[in-house]
A and B are shown apart, each in its own frame.
Chain A
Amino acid sequence: MRLVEQYQAAMVRLAQVYVRDRAVAEEVAQDAWVAVLKSLRQFEGRSSFKTWLFHILVNAARTRSQRERRSVPFSALASDDEGVLGDEPSVAPERFRPADAPYAGGWGALPQLWDALPEASADNRETRERIAAAIERLPASQQSVIRLRDIEGYSADDVCKMLDISEGNQRVLLHRARSRVRQALESYFAED
């Protein structure tokens, strides 16, 4: 049972990236466990157990999310394709000097150092809430990558296997996710 306890919270949280509703996410996690038990004999140890478990979980969550989507008005749901398509500058373009100015592409106002700020600590509850909120606002693909990499601590290789994405894709998603969270923190720290 320790195996279950160890992974359950992370699995539910990851499922929630795709299905939002916590009760549905718990069902998805349960479905994943059942699928894992049923195919345990087929697990040939090609990847780590963790990687395999999360791969199953993510597939279950994606499938369930597609099913839920068909029964909910389209406008109510955010697309999870936003994660990787199109351009997404890491920093608002207006933070840099324009192309026709001296020092084109250089910083306008310099980014601040956060060291001196008491809020810039994980012990600060509001800071944790802001970070959590910023992560929850991310498109599903970006959110799952930052959760698996930076919260769960899985390697880039593992995450690519869990989510069935290329290394390049994974890096773009991670970059965009982190950039958005950084931006949210910068805005928060700039508040009075």
Chain B
Amino acid sequence: MQELTCKELVELVTAYFEDALPADERLRFERHVSVCPGCSAYMEQMRQTITLVGELREQDVSPTAEQQLLQAFRGWKRDET
């Protein structure tokens, strides 16, 4: 089986993380990364990117919107009873 190039490997990183590569392709992938400092560093960058994205904080609800929502809720409750 032909070896992966680095250029090909970077296209497969997400599929690898998702465990979506067929067994033989996963082996090829892992074999390449184990001997390639460039791709090893790239994968680390991707992992860190995912971690950093996950740590973004959501903005708070604006007070006006929450008030409107509460009113809509009360209206619904009233109609239902």
Contact = CB atoms under 8 A, between A and B. Distances in A.
A93 B7 contact: yes
Chain A, interface SS category: helix
Nearest to A96: B7
Contact of B14 (A22, A93, A171): A171
B18 A171 contact: yes
A107 B9 CA distance: 11
A37 B70 CA distance: 13
Given A90-B11, A146-B53, A30 B73 contact: no
Interface stretch (A48-56, A59-67, A68-76, A108-116): A108-116
A33 interface: yes
Given A90-B13, A156-B18, A107 B6 contact: yes
A181 interface: yes
Interface in B32-81: 36-39, 41-42, 44-46, 48-62, 64-66, 68-70, 72-73, 76
Interface residues of A, number: 52
A135 B58 contact: no
B27 interface: no
A178 B49 contact: yes
B24 interface: no
Contacts of A4: 66, 69, 73
B29 to A, nearest CB: 14
Interface of A: 1, 4-5, 8-10, 12-13, 22, 26, 29-30, 33-34, 37, 89-91, 93, 96, 104-107, 110-115, 120-122, 127-128, 131-132, 135, 146, 150-151, 153, 156, 171, 174-175, 178-179, 181-182, 185-186
